Amino acid sequence: MSGRAGTVVDDAVADDAADLAIRTRGLTKRFRSQVAVDGLDLAVPRGAVYGFLGPNGSGKTTTIRMLLGLVRATAGEAEVLGSPMPRAIDAVLPRVGALVEGPAFSPYLTGAQNLRRFDAADRHSIGSTRDTRVAEALERVGLSHAAAKKAHAYSLGMKQRLGLANALLMPRDLLVLDEPTNGLDPQGTREVRALIRSFAADGTTVFVSSHLLAEVEQLCTHVGVMSAGRLVAQGTLEELRRSGGRARVRVRTPDAPAARRVLAGLGIEVESGSAASDLEVVVGTLPDDEEAPEAIVAALVAERVRVRGFAVERASLEQRFVELTGEGFDVVA
Amino acid sequence: MSSREADATTGAARDADLADAGGTTDTVRRPRAAASGTLRLLGNELATLFTRWRTWAMLGALALIPILIGIAIRIAGGSSAGRGPAFLDQITGNGLFVGIAAMTVAIPLFLPLTIGVTAGDAIAGEASHGTLRYLLIAPAGRIRLLVVKYLAAAAFCLAGTLTVVVLGTLVGWLLFPIGPVTLLSGDEIPVGEGLLRFLAVAAYVAVSLLGLSAIGLFLSTLTTVPIGAMAATSILAVVSQIVGAIPQLEALHPWLFTDRWLDFADLLRSPPVWDSFAANALLQGAYVLVFGTLAITRFVTRDVLS
């Protein structure tokens, strides 16, 4: 399994620690006899939007808790923003904004009071700019109107926004967001996506855990997939898609035999098709050193094959995900 | 613990370097951790504690004790000497004693209950709300958070005892004749000095509760269920007093944190006997040291999973 992850990791990036916002080596957490996280080697490049995927209970949140110094690793090491955690916790965490396992607030305090409290807890924050920063963070997540409302009166979506506002109280170098769109309506989800894109555009590294694959596909540049406490794949989104096996080509043509001959000549394994209709469909599997789609079409046309439809198909992220983690995962598209 | 603190120091220094390198604006983040940051967190914690409805409900319940005593005695007349709680018989003669009589009533159960709630909730309450993880990743610092929580609990001890004494004195002032205070030794002191002695009593009882607060804080680090820590703290206070009332267990008595709870009366002699104050402070200090160390040891290594 780990060998498989290794093939996907961009080794050049993994070796250059200076370019990594998060790096772990053999990070392991055991709770009594149960292994929650097993030998994790994370490599999150600076500036990346890293999608941390995995079924419920695969160890995502435990990993995040270890990265933030809430939970002690049983073995292995973790570096966040170039410093070892949890040893450098006081230096690292002021530069990290985080949403961990859902937002949490003191119900008897207002939204703004809750944010002021978390800000005051950071001994490096400056008190004189606190109120301004709280107001700006609330504004940014669209909660200004509810600033004076007690947190127990907040809806789930509002709490989620308030949690995001807490992560934005200061300029951050790294945002760790655990299920950031949980509980948000479609509009809120779009806003959060736009927010994450704007952070990434500012150069902030975003580490976002999710099980919403559509969200990850839209947002992320890099992906890591957890299954049963292990990292089963890691790399850029494109690398992960590609690792899912070879692409398939589908040609719709009345000249099926000629098409088969041409495709076979390009090293494509053509499936023996049935002439069900006059517009026959030829399907084949591309080799590893695949030709560009346009080159295949050019070769077909050069042999006077009448191409009426053409597609190169790859496994979707969802298919890859199920392959990597097994069935029984709550996929929400 | 010392190595942790050393880490914190180098961490702060490293952060200063990082802040410089990153060009972070200094209106947002101070380059070096300052003591004022901890004071601000304490200020915020106190403001949070004293904006809670629950805190005022507990202080209100404590305030009811002198009010009930005052009204009951005003209506039904004074009790004869030697019956009922100490100082109760002196109220009809001098209303200023309402506060002290109320204190005698509050010490065995009411005050320990409120301390149990405040100290027992300190960490467990944050854990149950999930706010503990956000305070720790702020980062508040685990030892710093414990210290701030303990100081807030201590502030509540003082608020509680002052509520009983000050409100009791005011109630007595309103309902009964007042005059120079007759001390236990028979001497009379003027009203002003008497009031100062009463404030010293409030301070004495607040100090008496510091050991219990430390026990509550420790129990609070053991659980994510605040009601458990609250109940356990209150029950320990009662158990300790029961042990203190069993003569056969006399050998244990000097070690009980409740042993000197009622010795505040020594402050009402002439001249005041400060020995009990010092002995009590020493006893409470020992409990703070032991349970404070236990709380820190437990909390800095604990996995925060809530």
Using a CB-CB cut-off of 8 Å, the residues of chain A touching B131 are 104-106, 114
The domain A2-242 is placed in CATH, from the list 3.40.50.300, 3.40.50.10070, 3.30.420.10, 3.20.20.70, at 3.40.50.300
Euclidean distance between the first and final Cα of chain B, in Å?
24
Cross-chain CB nearest to A120 (options B14, B33, B41): B41
B136–A70 CB contact, under 8 Å: yes
CA distance A129 to chain B (A): 7
Judged by CB atoms closer than 8 Å, whether chains meet at B133 and A93 is answered as no
Among B137, B224, B300, most A C-beta atoms within 10 A, so best to mutate, is: B137
One-letter amino acid of A97: G
| Tokens (6 digits) for A175 | 């945002």
User: pLDDT for A181-232, tens place per residue?
Assistant: 887 888 888 888 888 888 889 889 999 998 778 888 888 999 999 988 999 8
What is the average pLDDT score of chain A? 84
Contacts of B204 (CB under 8 A, 6+ apart): B263, B264, B267, B276, B277, B280
Q: What is the predicted pLDDT for the residue at A29?
A: 94
What residues pair up with A207 in beta bridges, in sequence order? A50, A176
**Residue ranges per structural domain of chain B:** 36-301
In this complex, the residue of B11, B26, B38 whose CB is nearest that of residue A91 is B11
CATH for A248-314, options being 2.40.50, 3.30.70, 3.40.50, 1.10.1220: 3.30.70
Cβ contacts of A122 on chain B, cutoff 8 Å:
37, 138-140
- What pLDDT sits at residue B91? 81
Interface list for B 50-89 with A (CB within 8 A): 51-54
Strand partners for A248: A285, A313
In whole angstroms, what is the distance from residue A24 CA to residue A14 CA? 10
Best of A68, A124, A160, A202 to substitute, by most chain B Cβ atoms within 10 angstroms, is A124
CB–CB contact B304 A122 (8 Å): no
For an interface test with A, the pick among B38, B39, B44, B134 (most A C-beta atoms closer than 10 Å) comes out as: B134
Residue B52: its chain A contacts at CB < 8 A? 108
CB atoms near residue A132 (< 10 Å):
11
A89 closest CB neighbour out of B11, B25, B54: B11
Q: What are phi and psi of A307, to 5 degrees?
A: -90, 115
User: Using CB atoms, which residue from B14, B54, B134 is nearest to A91?
Assistant: B14
Please state, for a pLDDT cut of 70, what percent of chain A lies above it: 89
Whether a cis peptide bond, with omega within 30° of 0, leads into A86 is yes
pLDDT tier at A71 (50, 70, 90 boundaries)?
very high
| Arithmetic mean of pLDDT, A99-106 | 92
Torsion of CA A34, A40, A46, A50, to 10 degrees: -60
Beta strands in chain A (DSSP E): 20-31, 34-40, 43-45, 49-53, 75-80, 83-85, 96-99, 174-178, 205-210, 222-227, 230-236, 248-253, 269-270, 280-285, 309-313
**Do the Cβ atoms of A41 and A75 come closer than 8 Å?**
no
When pLDDT is cut at 50, 70 and 90, the band that residue A277 belongs to is: low
Give the residue from chain A lying closest to B136, CA to CA: A70
> What residues of B are in contact with residue A106 (Cβ under 8 Å)?
48, 129, 131
pLDDT at A105 over 60: yes
Distance CA A227, CA A97 (A): 26
Do residue A93 and residue B137 have CB atoms under 8 angstroms apart?
yes
Helix (H) or strand (E) holding B175: helix B142-175
> Which of A68, A96, A117 lies closest to B48 in CB terms?
A117
Task: Give the whole-angstrom CA distance, residue B109 versus residue B102.
Answer: 12
CA distances A26 to A9, A63, A206, Å, are 15, 12, 22
B-chain residues near A134 (CB < 8 A): none
Looking at the complex, report in whole angstroms how far the Cα of residue A317 sits from the nearest Cα belonging to chain B: 31
Nearest to B209 by CA among B273, B274, B159: B159
Mutual angle of helices B210-220 and B226-245, in 10-degree steps: 140
Give the span between the Cα atoms of A90 and A158, in whole angstroms: 29
Contact with chain A for residue B34, Cβ under 8 A: yes
Cα–Cα distance between B124 and B153 in angstroms, integer?
14
CB A53 within 8 A of CB A225: yes
B40 at interface of A, judged by CB pairs closer than 8 A: yes
Residue ranges of B 211-250 with Cβ closer than 8 A to chain A: none
Closest C-alpha among A223, A204, A216 to residue A42: A223
pLDDT less than 50: residues of chain B: 1-24
Torsion, CA A323, CA A327, CA A331, CA A333, rounded to 10: 50
- Residues of chain A found within 8 Å of residue B224, distances taken between Cβ atoms: none
pLDDT, residue B5, reads: 42
CB-closest option in A90, A100, A103 to B11:
A90
Average pLDDT over residues A300-329: 79
Give me the residue from B11, B130, B140 closest to A121, CB to CB: B140
- Cα(B63)–Cα(B146) distance, integer angstroms: 29
- Strand, helix or coil at A173? coil
Residues of A in contact with B40 (CB under 8 A): 120, 127
In the predicted model, is pLDDT for residue A3 greater than 70?
no
Euclidean distance between the first and the last CA atom of chain A, given in angstroms as a whole number:
27
- For A44-67, the pLDDT digits (tens) are 999 999 999 988 888 999 999 999
Closest residue in B to A87 (Cα–Cα): B7
Number of CB pairs < 8 Å for A and B?
A: 139
| Closest chain A residue by Cα to residue B35 | A123
Nearest to B139 among A117, A122, A166 (CB): A122
Residue B79 CA: distances (Å) to CA of A81, B46, B85? 72, 40, 10
Domain ranges in chain A are 2-242, 248-314
Q: Which of B7, B27, B130 sits opposite A126 (nearest CB)?
A: B27
